[in-house]
Structure 1
């Protein structure tokens, strides 16, 4: 059986424990722990919320609207940090393997979303030959509405600058804000049927709960249509 996403991410952390300088490793650990400790769960997107219309930018060009995504049924959004994020380069191929085939067969769009500008974000789609859609959330507009954004702490800012650039330069957004890894299943009426936010970016949503939520949603829809 293939490894779970969180086992793959644990392997990444184990590799860092063995290879990173202790000071750099501690900055990473401390930032993730601070996000867990300071998580504002009341602000996070929740089941039952209604997502008002939004527009994403496809990395290949053009726009992707909420109404377009929901034209034929539910849709799944996966928020990730940016194209060069090591954990994201583990998570997106995992979702390609474990989520995309089943969702595609059900006619349910799967979109990976980051605030990074499209011309830089396309790199992660081409690197892994992803069939799932990748789209930019301009200026973190949707992420802000969902309550899932965080800003780098001072130590993480200094570490990034020591490497040569701020995260805002990397993403093209000009800010230190990124989304916390989040999976949202949106029903056809725009309501949230499943939502999970992971403040620690080395802990992320597995495929099975997402598939279960979608299947439940489609089962209920089929039932309603039959009545």
Structure 2
């Protein structure tokens, strides 16, 4: 096992926050902290899918390949969906390369499809895939349709909206949706029967799912589906 497999996403994101403490304007930093804490305090877990729930059909728009359906995603094995905010999100630019190093190669061996999902419009979203040379799929969830169905959307607080407006470009303009809504970072593992086998929603976007947790969830699918061995 390579040294990179021991990498901690928690440590990488903790280091990002430490850098912000050292370099950010205190008022801007507090708005960021308060928004994340508000999301933690108000998260409604009853809206999320439960393990065992069978998902209805949906379609995403892969930035290179166009429309891709749920049935296509699980045609050859489980699908792992990682919802992230947008291509310019600093935490996303740490988390997704981490998954490229520590998750994508092992998922490929397990026959699972990895797809990173954001509401950002495709012609802007492609930037993060090209910049990091991702070998997994990156797709636009047009109008936040899937994230809304999954109950993982959040809206900017008033303070965060004011800061976004003051920056000269609102988040709706950056993402291309024209709204204040973004998905909370979420990992969703779906089996070939379209059933949810694992879900982890992170209201605080500086707390995200470690690769080994996701891999264990995918391996459990294979373990449960192995035929019984006669003795």
TM-score normalised per structure 1: 0.97
Runs of 4+ in 1 over 2 A off after TM superposition: none
Structure 1, 86-95 or 58-67: larger mean CA deviation: 58-67
Structure 1, 12-21 or 43-52: larger mean CA deviation: 43-52
Superposed, 1:99-178 pairs within 5 Å as 99-178=103-182
User: SS of 1:135's equivalent?
Assistant: strand
Q: How far has the Cα of 1:165 moved from its partner? A: 1.0
Q: Tell me whether 1:79 sits opposite 2:83 in the alignment.
A: yes
Q: How far has the Cα of 1:221 moved from its partner? A: 1.7
Q: Deviations over 1:76-107 (max 9, x none)?
A: 00000000000000000001011100011122
Q: How far has the Cα of 1:217 moved from its partner? A: 0.1
Superposed, 1:88-99 pairs within 5 Å as 88-99=92-103
User: SS of 2:96's equivalent?
Assistant: helix
Give the number of equivalent residue pairs: 226
Q: Retained in 2: the 8 A contact 1:45–1:148?
A: no
Q: Tell me whether 1:191 sits opposite 2:188 in the alignment.
A: no
Structure 1 portions without partners, runs of 5+: none
Corresponding residue of 2:49: 45
Structure 2 portions without partners, runs of 5+: none
Corresponding residue of 1:208: 212
TM-score normalised per structure 2: 0.95
